[in-house]
Structure 1
Amino acid sequence: MSKVNLADRLRAAAARLPEKPALVLRPISGGGAQVTYHDLDERVDRAAGAFQGLGLDRGERVALMLGNSEHFVEAFYGAMRAGLVVVPLNTTYTTNEVAQILTDADAAAIVVGEAYHDRLAGIKETLPALEHVVVAGASSPPLGAQTWKQFLGTGGPFTEVEVDEDDLALLPYTSGTTGRPKGAMLSHANLLANHHQMEQTRLSVEELDVVLCVLPLFHIYSLNVAMAFSLSRGATVLIMERFDPLQSLDAISSQRVSVVIGAPPIYIAWLNTPGVEEYDLASVRYAVSGAAPLPRQVLTRFESELGITIWEGYGLTETSPLLTTVAMDDRPRPGSVGCPVPGVELRLVDDKGADVRAGDPGEVVVRGPNVFSGYWQDADATAEVLEDDGWFHTGDVGLLDDGHLYLVDRKKDMVLVSGFNVYPREVEEVLYRHPKIAAAAVVGTPHPYTGEAVKAVVVLREGEEAAAEDITDFCRRYLARFKCPEVVEFVESLPTNPSGKVLRRELRKSA
């Protein structure tokens, strides 16, 4: 078994490009700083030595509850270099959710941002495995914790740790939009396999690139694609604390960003920003969309109005994350998420696990070196989705056309109207064509005669007005009657998780 560590890629980049900026930091309050590859590598060594100074052994779990900052990067790579397993925590989690994950992961330490330290209130005493709390950004240590500066000061010189490629590296917990969060076990080999796969597409990042990283780093898409892959290639990563339409557009222009790693809400927000066409975006050589389906209208408008092609991809936490990308072809196909990246096998199967007929929809199942080994301490949940021969059942329904994957919807999101299947994404694609609609989502709502009916939750563009009948009539031009919304609700915004996925469970509560 070979010895490999994700952090080795950072070390190699630092040896090759010591004085090149690795990070450009843009806090939302303004200002910012640069960190060279040499300095970042030294900081990571200090963090790794500090983790070792806590007495943590190879394979123990370290949770990170940090915003987009240098602390996240240093703690992440420091833990990796020390042979530890990183458990990234969503910074919007409540105290109960944090406690649940820390308990499940048996985390021995947590590095938490000062803004999120209150989530640990009253739960540390209930977590016997959690021995160490480090608060990043604090000037003085809270009770029972130490500051990041104190943490670094207690460690000695870093001692090299041998890590096998199949050793657990990352334990991200699924978003829990459909149930209890589960820890997806990703090895160093899984994460690095996805890097190698991306290197073989037209979306490979190069040393001269400046990559916009504005999605939350605790999400696998931002973590392994925007940050880790870019740093492994020697690019400069522009880390923004959080997304702001105007500040991010200004950063793209002033920092000459060449690669944008985004999600649909970001591209939608930019399109709806007055004066967006006045920003100089000529430095952008490509933009990528992931984490949630990109409406076709957004893709076409972005190219026609701003001159930037968005290359859509598809993946999951359990697949490190990238599975398919339209960048396997010469041009994006609107509505498609592309073909499998090299090394990934993909099939569509029916409810019995048999391959569907050509042209029929089926559940997407995949196999490849980037696919996880299972859920942490949950054999039953693993057995539900992962076959013995490595095929992973994604829970997504798709269609294949000439090898190109078109996602129809999540199996569990399907609406059943009088026995007919209605896939929310099909209806949402039509809604996004309406000139007055800025954003939309579709769920099922109980109906006394048809079992369920389609409900559209709609955000109108600023200054626009519309009646429910206008929306339904518009849909009837393009959809069969049973697919058209029976109920239309107008809202100020759609509930989403930090990665941009619409929280349909929240919409169903009012359905």
Structure 2
Amino acid sequence: MPREQATPAATASAGRSPSAASAVDNLADLVRVQATARADDTALIEGVDAGRSCTWAELDDLVERGAAGLASLGLLAGHRVTICLDTGIDFVVAYLATLRAGLVAVPANPRGATGELVRQLADSRSRVVLADAVTVDTVRAAVIGVAEALEGMGGRGGAPTLVVCGLPPAAGELTLEQLLEPGRPRVVTPHDRERLAALLYTSGTSGAPRGAMLTHRALLANLEQVAAIDPPVMRQDDVVLGLLPLFHVYGLNGVLGQVLNQGATIVLVNTFDPVAMLDAVRTLGLTNLPLAPPVLSAWVGQPDLAQKLRGVRLLISGAAPLDQEQIAEFEAAGGLTVQQGYGLTEAAPVVTSTLTRSGGTSPAGSVGGALAGIELDVRDSAGRPNVDDDPGQVWVRGDNLFSGYWPEGEDGPDADGWYATGDIGLLGSQGELVLVDRLRDLVIVSGFNVYPAEVEDVISAVPGVAEAAVIGVQDEQTGEAVVAYVVPTAGTDEAVLLDGIRDRCEAHLARFKWPREVRLVEELPHSANGKVAKGRLRAAARGEDLGLT
């Protein structure tokens, strides 16, 4: 079954939440819709201590003033604004004000390296960058380096204007308070769904960070697609945990975007303390928990977990794979079904959900079926639809897809609207998607394909393994060889562990899949959304091969 379209269960009307996204052409207009419908309802809460909050009417006013402030700087429609702020109300205001002014939002990792930010500022040609107490040192250093970087890239132009939030400005800088000053002329918001809304930098399928060009059409389409799920992913009466970083597409559109669409309340959190967060679930009345796998791992051992999660209506895990053993352990301890989905930055982001299946249940190991309005296909290496049950590359088609990579729209959907995701998967008999691995993580040993996720699953089942990651390294005889990085649990006998890994691999894997080497490490590098940063492992291994480390 090579192709999957949304099933009737995904488009059922019973229980569906109303979608404001269908009535607007600029995502920022969702705030105005909610301010009109529920002016005095709480929209945003900042921190588990609820130290700061705002209603929908207050948020709409802040966004309007912010848009006017940006326009007063001489910015024109389509100019880029980099937002390097920690998760909080200021980020939301800056993001929505940028969109309302017809500008393009460029979220940046608030904990990223200076060099990374220099490249992003230079590549996007951002005219303004916002910073807070967490990011200001990095941003100031990056602003200094932008002019030099632009010159090296063959471009021209000066450094962006720096707007600081919650701290005094240095010479030549502005404050967010100045940007939000009342009394400026109201901006005329462009209403064109094909207008570029956001540049989200992602490694994509190439490995090098590139700006995925997301239009208002893509962002709004995905909000409508998610809102069509029954049972509903989000309702107006939900209090939603906003723990996922807003510079990441899952937090930005998958969570915040749906809050704007449904008029729910979101609690914005920028640090994760397992105990404090669980207490906040109860004290703040959180009902909807969009999470990443590391949170489930941190919570599963907490005492009285089911009691603490008793008021939660829905728990969804995304952004990184979650194995069946981890799901079963959490469901047993927490008393909640763990729903999953699959998405990517280029799809704004949600493509599948286990909630699309009747009763919100999907076969074990799957990430659910396609959302309404989204098509899936699994194709071979030549781009032809698979005719057998072998894994193939997952292709996606839908209005939620991006318009290619900045600035020329390269490597976007093909002429028929299909996009090759770089993920390897299978489609089940009911159209459910089962992910196998990332195409760029594929290891080819003597011409045979090795999917690291398969090897990782085998190794992770060995007692004493806390975490495992598998990569390919160059090998003179086989082209590539498998190397496993393993984090032992505390107190584990390393010799016994290595023997156990070897024995299990020999028992459960074909010989060409066996790790040539198992490296025991204290920790694995992770990205901000909880995924193992395999690129760093490959870079380190390559450095060793070249004698650089």
Q: Same fold (TM over 0.5)?
A: yes
One-letter amino acid of the counterpart of residue 52, structure 1: A
Q: Secondary structure at the match of 1:248?
A: helix
Q: What is the identity, as a one-letter code, of the residue corresponding to 2:513?
A: K
Q: State how far apart, in whole Å, the 1-side matches of 2:107 and 2:507 are.
A: 45
**1:239-290 deviations in Å (ceiling 9; x for gaps):** 111222222222212212111111122222222x443637611112221122
- The alignment's TM-score, normalised by the length of structure 1, stands at 0.93
Amino acid across the alignment from 2:72:
G
Aligned to 1:214: 243
What residue is the counterpart of 2:314 in the other structure?
A: 286
| C-alpha displacement of 1:160 | 2.9
2: CA distance, partners of 1:107 / 1:301 = 45
Distance in 1, Cα, partners of 2:158 & 2:218: 27
From the superposition, tell whether residues 50 and 15 of structure 1 become closer, same or farther in structure 2 (CA, over 3 Å).
Answer: same
Q: Which sits farther off after the overlay, 492-501 or 164-173?
A: 492-501
Structure 1 445/123 Cα, relative in aligned 2: closer, same or farther at 3 Å? closer
Q: Which residue of 1 aligns with 2:9?
A: none
Cα distance per residue 1:20-49 (max 9 Å; x no partner): 11112116xx56222211211111111111
Aligned to 1:32: 51
Q: After TM superposition, give the deviation of residue 345 of structure 1 in Å.
A: 1.2
With over 3 angstroms needed to count, the CA separation of the structure-2 counterparts of 1:60 and 1:159, relative to structure 1, is same
Q: Secondary structure at the match of 1:311?
A: strand
1:147-203 CA-to-partner distances (Å, cap 9, x unmatched) read: 211222387142232321111111111147953321111111110100110011134
1:32-71 matches, within 5 Å, as: 32-71=51-90
After TM superposition, the structure 1 stretch with the greater mean CA deviation from structure 2, 72-81 or 45-54, is 45-54
Cα distance in 2, alignment partners of residues 234 and 491 from structure 1? 45
Aligned to 2:153: none
What runs of 5+ residues in structure 2 fail to find an aligned partner? Answer: 1-22, 151-156, 542-549
Counterpart in the other structure of 1:255: 284
| One-letter amino acid of the counterpart of residue 362, structure 1 | G
Partner Cα separation in structure 2 for residue 129 and residue 297 of structure 1: 53
**RMSD of aligned alpha carbons:** 2.2
Question: Equivalent residue for 1:225?
Answer: 254
User: Does the 8 Å contact 1:51/1:155 carry over to 2?
Assistant: no
Q: Which amino acid aligns with 2:282?
A: S
Assess if the C-alpha contact under 8 Å between 1:253 and 1:279 holds in 2.
no
Instruction: Tell me which residue corresponds to 1:333.
Output: 363
Gaps of 5+ in 1: none
C-alpha contact 1:62 1:86 (8 A) present in aligned 2: yes
Contact conserved, 1:53 with 1:155, CA < 8 A, in 2? Answer: no
Determine whether 1:193 maps to 2:214.
no
Q: Please state if 1:352 is matched with 2:393.
A: no
Over the matched positions of the two proteins, sequence identity in percent amounts to 41
1:494 aligns to what SS in structure 2? Answer: coil
- Higher RCO structure, 1 or 2 (CA under 8 Å, sep 6+): 2
Q: Between Structure 1 and Structure 2, how many residues are aligned? A: 503
Task: Work out which of the residue numbers 437, 454, 460 in structure 2 matches 1:432.
Answer: 460
Are residue 81 (structure 1) and residue 109 (structure 2) matched? no
In structure 2, C-alpha distance between the alignment counterparts of 1:423 and 1:36, rounded to whole Å: 48
Cα 1:133–1:191 shift into 2, 3 Å: same
Cα separation, 1, equivalents of 2:369 and 2:388: 16
> How far apart in 1 are the matches of 2:128 and 2:237?
36
Does the C-alpha gap of structure 1 residues 222 and 398 become closer, same or farther in structure 2, counting only changes over 3 Å?
Answer: same
User: Normalised by the size of structure 2, how large is the TM-score?
Assistant: 0.87
- Is residue 288–residue 312 contact of structure 2 (8 Å, CA) maintained in 1? yes
1:355-391 per-residue CA deviation (whole Å, 9 max, x = no partner) reads 1113121111111000011111245xx24x5312211
Q: Which residue of 2 aligns with 1:91?
A: 110
Question: Counterpart of 2:503 in 1: which secondary structure?
Answer: helix
Q: CA deviation at 1:129?
A: 4.9
> Which stretch has the larger CA shift, 48-57 or 211-220?
48-57
User: In 2, are the aligned partners of 1:270 and 1:276 still within 8 Å (CA)?
Assistant: no
Amino acid at match of 1:343: G
Q: 1:481 to 1:305 in 2, by over 3 A?
A: farther
Relative to structure 1, the CA distance from residue 152 to residue 34 in structure 2 (aligned partners, 3 Å threshold; closer, same or farther) is closer
* Partner SS for 2:271: coil
